[in-house]
Every structure is written in structure tokens, then in C-alpha cells.
Amino acid sequence: MRARKAITALGIAALTSFGAIAAAPAAQAGGYGCSGSHVWSGDVAGAGTVHTYYNGSTNCSVFVKSLYSGTRTYTDIYVQKAGDPGWIDGGGGYFTTYAGPVTIYAPGSCIREWVIELDPNGNTIVNQPTPWHSCS
């Protein structure tokens, strides 16, 4: 009888623990080296998608290639906060999948990105900004 009570108690404890784990809120996912919640994405000239994450104070953006994905091409992403004249460079290079991340402190401000991508022959296929977004 004692053994059965102990097994039942262990089973209830295990179920209770599992329930607590299953019911816990999901952590902020982030992605591509960014932390925080995914707050915006936008297509850039059919060549790929900018994804922006926000962690409560910092925006973090990446450009994920769709055209020439898997091929090493020169790709760069910059970010700008509304009201600031300059751009922060994400550190361009020859990437196969995505460029970035690039971060900016911009709580309560709109941001935008500028994306550059060259084809394997060095010809420009993208050289343009995204619209202003994440204005909260």
C-alpha cells in the first residue's frame, strides 16, 4: 500500500511539473542573431525579405536572400532611425543566406533599412530602402 501511494504521489508530481512546463509562456524567439519579438517583415524587390525584431529598446534587422539564396553574393543591410541623418552598417560581405544582423536603439521611433545585393557577376540587383515601419 505504501509503495502504491509513493508511486501515485510521484505520478502526480510529474504531471504537475509537466503541466507547469507546458503552460509556461514562450520566450521571445528572435532569429538570425537578433533577440526579441518579430515585429515586421517586408519584401525587397523580390530579392529577399527584411525581418525586424524588437526587444523593448533595440530593433534588430536582417535581410534574408531569396534570389541567389545558397550562392555567395555581396549583400549588406543598413538601418536608420527616423530623424537621424546617418545609417548604421550591418557589415556587408559575401553571404549565402542572409546579411546582418544590424541593431539600433530606437524605442518609440520609426526605422527603415537599406538593402544592397549584387549578383554573382557583381551587378547590382538591389539597392533600395524599405518603407518606414515599427513606429511604436
Q: What is the pLDDT of residues 72-98, one digit of tens each?
A: 999 999 999 999 999 999 999 999 999
Read off the pLDDT of each residue in 6-20 and give the average, rounded to a whole number.
Answer: 37
CA-to-CA separations, 82 to 28, 62, 124, in angstroms, rounded = 25, 18, 26
CB 5 within 8 A of CB 31: no
Q: 29 falls in which pLDDT band (50, 70, 90)?
A: low
What confidence score (pLDDT) does residue 17 get? 37
* Average pLDDT over the chain, rounded to an integer: 84
Average pLDDT over residues 99-104: 98
Query: What is the model's pLDDT at position 30?
Result: 82
Given a cut of 90, whether residue 104 has pLDDT beyond it is: yes
Q: Which residue has the cell 557577376?
A: 121
